[in-house]
Amino acid sequence: MKLCSMKIVIWITTTIFSTQTEAKVVIYGQLGDTVMLPNEQRSREVRWTREPGRRALLTMLSNSVPSIDPEMIGRVSLSGYSLVLKDLKLEDFTVFKCHLSNYESKEYQLYQIKVSAVSATVLATQDLSLSCTVPKSDVSTIISWSDPQDQKAEGSRFRLGEHTLTVLNVSARDHGKWTCIVTYGTSKATATLFATVVDISPSPPQPLYTSLSSSSPSLLLPCSLHTRFDSSALGSVGLKAGHWSFAPFPWDAAPEGPQKLLDLSLGPQLRWETPSGQRLNGTALETDADRTNLSISRKVEEGGGLYTCTLEFNSGVTLSRTLRVEVLRRPGAQPHLHPGPLFAAQGLELKWSVPRQSSLSPLPASPHRPLQGIPRVSEKDKGIWKCDLLKDDKVLATATLNLRTERVPVDAWLVVSVCGAAVVLFLLLALVFLCVRRHRQQKMFMRRRRKTKYCRCKHPQVKGFYRS
């Protein structure tokens, strides 16, 4: 009785087991990709066939070298007893069978995952809409996505539907391979789509520094698309116009609008032209066959300012990047950067080279600070004073000052007034002298006159007598 029930249990178990093995194994794959049809059961003989017509793809007898259908050479191989199928073609999305030597067989159903985009080429700021469709099967499927950086697509930038993904406000980082991940049972399959996002590379985080020294070359103002595209991609987004413009810093000039410097001429050969239609020679566009490098070289305006590179597209999208150009200037002997102080946080440093014989040489190291004037300029200080703006020991800009020392010029009016004062003083002294002399002469005369009286008088009268 006990044995009987055990037999029944075993029978039921094997029946369930065998019906389970009879069920088709579901495999998902993408056109052109590789899949593996798993079989762990060892066997003296393995034969893999494909529907329709049970076409024999690969046969292996007694672990010998497998014989392969000539049409399938390079596309099928064995991994253990499993079949590896490469470069999937449309005819592969069907039923496969694995025949083993004990007359057992396993069936596999291969399903195609399809990924598509409403438009696989989009402009930055536009939305990218992707969809991933999988045929219904015996197993349930869950769809998720990963972005070109292999990060799971989740967050406020993404709108997820059952089979769809919308990426809002795309930028250069969304350019690349998007992956649809289909999870079914304990397996995962992926399918990818390459999305082209046309965007301009980000502007450098730091301002561009330069000086107005006539010896320094023109400044390269970089502006380029973030990657090379095949020509059809750029054609499909429809470039309508492009320009470079300049706006001085508001503290340097009255805030007028930005002024247009150059226009993009959209002939068979892209090139930059002045607003009056004169061709700008020597730009990157002339040598760059990919038409992605919109950089220009330019002598910058005295005060520096904001240079903007703009591209307009037929769809109404405008992409632009602004470069901040700071000019190292030296009002008087004191080079400084406009505006305001240099920040140590930016890693910037000012380095002075002063004439060797100067009383200030060698200068104490004072990074981040302009030189606070030269206290008492002497003959020794004449020569070239050089100021380098450094970041990470790299010279960003240089300003030089040729200091000449001269005798302090004598003011003509000063001479006139000093001389005048001297003349007046002389005259005054002369006057005083004359007065004094005259006074003395008078005294002498008086004395002499009295003497003569006494001398001349032969009969001097006694005073007392005279009075009485």
Ligand X SMILES: *[C@@H]1O[C@H](CO)[C@@H](O)[C@H](O)[C@H]1NC(C)=O
- Residue ranges in contact with ligand X by CB under 6 A: 125, 169, 171, 220, 224, 278-279, 281, 284, 293, 295
- Those residues whose C-beta lies under 8 Å from the C-beta of residue 44, and which sit 6 or more positions away, are 61, 62, 63, 101
- C-alpha 221/C-alpha 280 separation (Å) is 14
| Nearest to ligand X of 294, 387 (CB atom) | 294
- C-alpha 90/C-alpha 112 separation (Å) is 8
Question: Rounded to the nearest whole angstrom, what is the least distance from the CB of residue 129 to ligand X in the complex?
Answer: 16
| Nearest to ligand X of 131, 224 (CB atom) | 224
| Nearest to ligand X of 113, 284 (CB atom) | 284
Question: Rounded to the nearest whole angstrom, what is the least distance from the CB of residue 337 to ligand X in the complex?
Answer: 24
Question: What residue type is assigned to position 78 of the chain?
Answer: L
| Nearest to ligand X of 76, 165 (CB atom) | 165
Question: Rounded to the nearest whole angstrom, what is the least distance from the CB of residue 237 to ligand X in the complex?
Answer: 17
| Nearest to ligand X of 67, 278 (CB atom) | 278
Question: Is residue 237 exposed (0-12), middle (13-18) or buried (19+ Cβ within 10 Å)?
Answer: buried
Question: Rounded to the nearest whole angstrom, what is the least distance from the CB of residue 390 to ligand X in the complex?
Answer: 22
| Nearest to ligand X of 37, 262 (CB atom) | 262
- Residue whose CB is nearest to ligand X in the complex, by number: 284
- C-alpha 11/C-alpha 345 separation (Å) is 79
b (16+ CB within 10 A) / e for 331-365: eeeebbbeeeebeeeeebbbbbbbbeebebeeeee
| Nearest to ligand X of 119, 171 (CB atom) | 171
Question: Rounded to the nearest whole angstrom, what is the least distance from the CB of residue 150 to ligand X in the complex?
Answer: 20
Q: Which runs of E-coded beta strand occur in 86-175?
A: 95-100, 105-112, 114-117, 121-123, 128-133, 141-146, 158-160, 164-167
The answer for 444, left when phi > 0, alpha when psi is -120 to 50, beta otherwise, is: alpha
Question: Rounded to the nearest whole angstrom, what is the least distance from the CB of residue 34 to ligand X in the complex?
Answer: 36
**What's the token pair of residue 252?**
């340097």
- Are 210 and 219 in contact by the 8 Å Cβ rule? The answer is yes
The 8-class DSSP code of residue 218 comes to P
Question: Rounded to the nearest whole angstrom, what is the least distance from the CB of residue 204 to ligand X in the complex?
Answer: 12
